[in-house]
């Protein structure tokens, strides 16, 4: 029966805190390492520009803002909370228990995880998340999307993108959820990642154009349309995407 096993709701705050700390520290470590390569002290002596400490602080804040695709720690903590507390609404009992068991181990694993030195290692494996659980998490995300609870779907899909960032489908679905949640900037970024992982994914480009139009960024939309037409000429695309391309092109010409 659903609900006949103890739910570890007390672990959710710990998950949130550790995810945020690890994520922030990893980003900051990489930024500092990059800035160290710029030899700001020599530039200051040669050109009398900003004092190195001032320029370092300025660069750090600019890069920290630029480097984060999204505030992933916020989405991740929300995703885990939703999955642990409500995932059983979309899963059978065995899948729900497996998801909760694997997610409940994350805080302890994060204590040992150095994201700053794990750039070439799949976080999914580090956090011991099975492929079956990935499939179950995706099932919950799709369930929330179909229920028009786009923010919850978005959070869960962002979590999947962190766990397995090499899977273009996760990024594409994240873009769709963000678009339906009217978070067009995030949707555009997610679609861009999806397209970089799968160059034939013309639908990511087309949906990105819709977002650009929603933001009244006509010049960027026209550029993206030219890229979409190049894709359609290079790859064989489904009739539905060819039809959407034509519909958007009409809008751009009006």
Query: Hey, what domains does the chain have and what are their CATH numbers?
Result: 1-164 (no CATH), 166-254 (1.25.40.10)
pTM for the model stands at: 0.71
Could you tell me which residue, 133 or 129, shows the higher pLDDT? 133
Could you tell me which residue, 48 or 204, shows the higher pLDDT? 204
Q: Helix 184-197 to helix 150-163 angle, to the nearest 10 degrees?
A: 40
119 band by pLDDT with thresholds 50, 70 and 90: very low
**Rounded Cα distance, 72 and 19, in Å:** 9
80 band by pLDDT with thresholds 50, 70 and 90: confident
Kindly report the average pLDDT of the chain as a whole number.
77
> What letters, b where the CB count within 10 A reaches 16 and e where it falls short, cover 117-135?
eeeeeeebebbebeeebbe
29 band by pLDDT with thresholds 50, 70 and 90: low
134 band by pLDDT with thresholds 50, 70 and 90: very high
User: For the chain, first and last CA: distance in Å?
Assistant: 57
């Amino acid at each position: 029966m659903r609900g006949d096993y103890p739910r570890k709701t007390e672990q959710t705050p710990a998950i949130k805190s550790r995810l945020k700390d690890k994520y922030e520290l990893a980003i900051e470590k990489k930024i500092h390492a990059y800035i160290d390569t710029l030899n700001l002290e020599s530039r200051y002596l040669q050109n009398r520009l900003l004092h190195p400490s001032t320029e370092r602080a300025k660069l750090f804040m600019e890069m920290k803002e630029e480097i984060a695709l999204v505030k992933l720690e916020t989405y991740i903590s929300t995703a885990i909370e939703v999955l642990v507390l409500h995932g059983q609404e979309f899963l059978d009992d065995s899948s729900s228990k497996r998801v909760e068991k694997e997610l409940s181990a994350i805080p302890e694993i994060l204590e040992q995880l150095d994201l700053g030195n794990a750039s070439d290692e799949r976080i999914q494996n580090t956090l011991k998340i099975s492929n079956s659980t990935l499939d179950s998490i995706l099932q919950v995300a799709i369930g929330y999307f179909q229920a028009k609870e786009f923010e919850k779907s978005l959070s869960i899909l962002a979590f999947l993108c962190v766990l397995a960032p090499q899977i273009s489908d996760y990024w594409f679905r994240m873009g769709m959820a963000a678009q339906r949640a009217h978070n067009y900037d995030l949707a555009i970024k997610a679609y861009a990642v999806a397209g970089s992982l799968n160059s034939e994914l013309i639908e990511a480009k087309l949906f990105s154009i819709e977002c650009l139009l929603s933001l009244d960024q006509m010049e960027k939309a026209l550029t993206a349309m030219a890229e979409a037409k190049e894709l359609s000429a290079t790859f064989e695309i489904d009739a539905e995407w060819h039809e959407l391309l034509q519909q958007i092109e009409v809008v751009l010409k009006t």
